[in-house]
Structure 1
Amino acid sequence: MSSAVIDVQGPLRKMPATPGPSVAYQLKLGDTRVPLNDLIGREIQLDFDGEIRCINCDRRTNKSFSQGYCYPCFKKLAACDTCIMSPERCHYHLGTCREPEWGETYCMTTHVVYLANSSGLKVGITRQNQVPTRWIDQGAVSALPMFEVATRQIAGLVEVACKAHVADKTNWRAMLKGDVKPVDLVAARDELRRLIADELQALRKEHGADAIREVDDSGLDLAYPVDTWPVKIATHNLDKTPQVFGRLEGIKGQYLILDTGVINIRKFTAYNVRLQVFDETPATQDLFSA
């Protein structure tokens, strides 16, 4: 094996991504960011040294909870409450939020209910300022907003109404195979609005006419930097095999696609990892910054 031309380490974080003709990714290890798109075709190695530190308190933990937290933080932080996964169960209005100030910032703010095509048609919600990041993280090839909603809880209630007709989960294996069939999202949006008209009327009556506003944006198409799509999905797990090696063949969602398998970087948030990149070429010089 040739010597490494990039050799950095630090705690993994969710990959920052920027939309463009092809989504531009960085691998974030602590304060260091390594641009990844130019490394496609290179051999890379990830080594997990066994250390996991909570992304909130920096306490060392043997296990990561809710993508990067130690168990005490997992139990006390609002960001780890069950209503994060089930927003319709938000209980801020009952005065029982674990962290009311956090709830003001993240829940009592405008959310978007959207349709996306990642492994097929799905519905989802996200904070308005997380568009299009949320769509990229899910590997959507196209997405468009349906509603702007006053709070996270109301967005969750609209999503519940939509889930009677549309899936709310991504089939990540199908998403990574790259053969996602096109979906007419505008037509799907219009039909879904018709199907949930009664539920929308009831929610507006309860929460106010302006609590749910229709959005008619044209949406966004997204392309990902992938040279070779996997035919069969094999996964790398740093808990079981702390060293991952292979040729980087693409990036989609929060997954690195290697010729030896795929790895979900977000799953291993807070894991202390060493990245090495091999096969020196001019394009690999001065690629990372602290």
Structure 2
Amino acid sequence: MTYQGVLTKMESEFSQPVQYYLVFENDFLNMNQLLGKNITVQFVKYQCLNCSLDKPIYRQGFCKSCFYDVPQAADWVMRPELSTAHLDKEDRDLVFEKQVQLQPHIVYLANSSNVKVGVTRKTQVPTRWIDQGAHEAIEIVEVPNRYLAGITEVALKEHVSDKTNWRKMLKNDIEDEDLVEWRERLKAYLPEEVTDYFIENNTETNLEFPVRQYPLKPKSLNIEKEQSYTGTLVGVKGQYLIFEDNTVFNIRANEGLVVAISIK
């Protein structure tokens, strides 16, 4: 059976273990059901997530011209502290920016390769943690807009990492941490504007991923260069497919690529 479509990040369902779905326009695949199966991934063409043209993908699933035009790729997406919708100030599209920025946001701690601080919309909990391959996470503050979440992250990353080591995450080279203790320790470094939004008395969320075998030395698959790859799927973690030969394929990093997936 062969399925073809443009890659977008896998959808997920919070269960033990997490359920993953690769969604195409006319089909979807439950990746958990494909563990142990022989899978071929073949590059077909590009399809920008905005203009849909067959143009090389630049970043985040967009061709170069769209990347510098669409609001979904503006600087405030990656750097929430640059948000300006709360000031009624437009960056690229004020209607879109108000819709995204002026809603409850969570600043959290997640442990995927190490403890890191991050920001996400409240509606994206726990999806954001799943996408990062975190096996445990906890909310620190809940604020009413993205800007306040951004300045909180900037303050806290002086005292805790804001990066994930993807190789350690995939190798499952992790240690359990007391995230409640971390949260209490970091409370002293919160900006004055958000101290009233500190979340008391919550507990950490634990996640389990559908992985039969972790790679000892993860090798990232460049499907544009290789054109085709065949391997046995042994796990899914974060937004990565993990294969028996230590090859890993980052679905999120390959958004905008049209692929054909054959299953044996």
Residue aligning to 2:57: 64
Match of 1:35 among 30, 35, 43: 30
Q: CA deviation at 1:73?
A: 1.7
TM-score normalised by length of structure 2: 0.95
Give yes or no for the alignment of 1:86 onto 2:86.
no
Give, in whole Å, the separation in 2 of the partners of 1:101 and 1:215.
33
Residue aligning to 1:286: none
Give, in whole Å, the separation in 1 of the partners of 2:145 and 2:13.
26
Residue aligning to 2:2: 7
Residue aligning to 1:48: 43
Residue aligning to 1:273: 259
Deviations 1:225-268 (Å, cap 9, x if unpaired)?
A: 11111111111001211111101010000000012300101111
Q: CA deviation at 1:39?
A: 1.2
Secondary structure of the residue aligned to 1:65 is strand
Match of 2:202 among 202, 217, 230: 217
Secondary structure of the residue aligned to 2:261 is strand
TM-score normalised by length of structure 1: 0.87
Letter of the 2:250 counterpart: N
Match of 1:264 among 250, 253, 262: 250
Deviations 1:133-182 (Å, cap 9, x if unpaired)?
A: 00000000000101001111110100011001000010000000013110
Match of 1:139 among 113, 133, 139: 133
Q: CA deviation at 1:214?
A: 2.6
Larger of the two Rg values belongs to structure: 1
Residue aligning to 2:215: 230
Deviations 1:1-39 (Å, cap 9, x if unpaired)?
A: xxxxx2111111111111111001112233311111121
Q: How does 1:101-120 map to 2 (within 5 A)?
A: 101-120=95-114
Letter of the 1:156 counterpart: G
Residue aligning to 2:235: 250
Secondary structure of the residue aligned to 1:101 is helix
Give yes or no for the alignment of 1:200 onto 2:178.
no
User: Which stretch shows the higher mean deviation, 262-271 or 72-81?
Assistant: 72-81
Identity among equivalent pairs (%): 37
Give, in whole Å, the separation in 1 of the partners of 2:224 and 2:153.
34
What RMSD in Å do the two structures reach over aligned CA positions? 1.4
Give, in whole Å, the separation in 1 of the partners of 2:60 and 2:167.
20
Task: Provide the aligned length of Structure 1 versus Structure 2.
Answer: 262
Residue aligning to 2:170: 176
Secondary structure of the residue aligned to 2:138 is strand
Structure 1 unmatched ranges of 5 or more: 1-5, 279-290
